[in-house]
Amino acid sequence: MTRRFVLATRNEKKRVELAAILGQALGEDVEVLTAADLDLPEVAETGVTFEANALLKAHSAAAASGLPAIADDSGLAVDVLGGAPGIFSARWAGRHGDDAANLRLLLDQLADVPDEHRGAAFVCAAAYVGPDGAERVHRGRFTGRLIRSPRGDNGFGYDPIFVPEGEERTAAELTAAEKNARSHRFLALTALAADLPPALR
């Protein structure tokens, strides 16, 4: 049976990644519409935690579409930056969504930071909001370290400078299947899928 829901993102790469994870986690056909498909309004991300922003986005998408909505808020938490860029990861260089500028800025900021202090983790909060207002939110963490120059063409965001724990390749050198099997998004969405209200689970 096919389940339909709206994903509160306009990012096509994220849609593909999230749909793959959710299909796997829910074990059934999943039809994913996005904020772009439905032309949903933009949401100001005024929360100061991943969870608050994921819930803001899911509430807005559910209200505007009348469909069950899933949203994630994700980012890279760098140890030596006290968890920044964090919720600001997508706008780190000042404008939303310029991956190349964000990555370049972070490398420049950390230029003098020695290898033993380059720990970081991708963090994801995944939220569900039902048409009835029911809400759920779960967090996932993908730990690793930052290298000094980008490698790999898969993935997006900071993937090319992030080497997961136990790996030598960057997240952008993993296949989508390898990344999806252990990523912050996988962990958060798997936990969320297991906790969805019966109608969607």
Q: Is residue 73 marked as binding?
A: yes
Contacts with a second copy by CB under 8 A lie at: 44-46, 48, 80-84, 86, 88, 91-95, 104-105, 108-114, 117
Query: Minimum distance from CB of 179 to a second copy (Å)?
Result: 26
Query: Minimum distance from CB of 115 to a second copy (Å)?
Result: 11
Tokens of 140: 């996932």
Name the helix (H) or strand (E) containing 189: helix 184-194
**Annotated catalytic residue within 29, 39, 72, 73:** 73
Q: Is residue 195 marked as binding?
A: no
Question: Which one, 105 or 147, has the nearer CB to a second copy?
Answer: 105
Name the helix (H) or strand (E) containing 138: strand 135-146
Query: Minimum distance from CB of 78 to a second copy (Å)?
Result: 8
Question: Which one, 93 or 191, has the nearer CB to a second copy?
Answer: 93
Question: Which one, 112 or 168, has the nearer CB to a second copy?
Answer: 112
Contact 33, 7 (CB under 8 A): yes
Spatial distance between the Cα atoms of 130 and 150, rounded to a whole number of angstroms:
39
Query: Minimum distance from CB of 7 to a second copy (Å)?
Result: 21
Spatial distance between the Cα atoms of 6 and 19, rounded to a whole number of angstroms:
11
Contact 78, 106 (CB under 8 A): yes
Spatial distance between the Cα atoms of 74 and 86, rounded to a whole number of angstroms:
8
73: annotated active-site residue: yes
Contact 50, 125 (CB under 8 A): yes
- List residues forming the annotated binding site: 9-14, 73-74, 156-159, 179, 184-185
The catalytic residue positions are 73
- List residues forming the annotated binding site for Mg(2+): 73
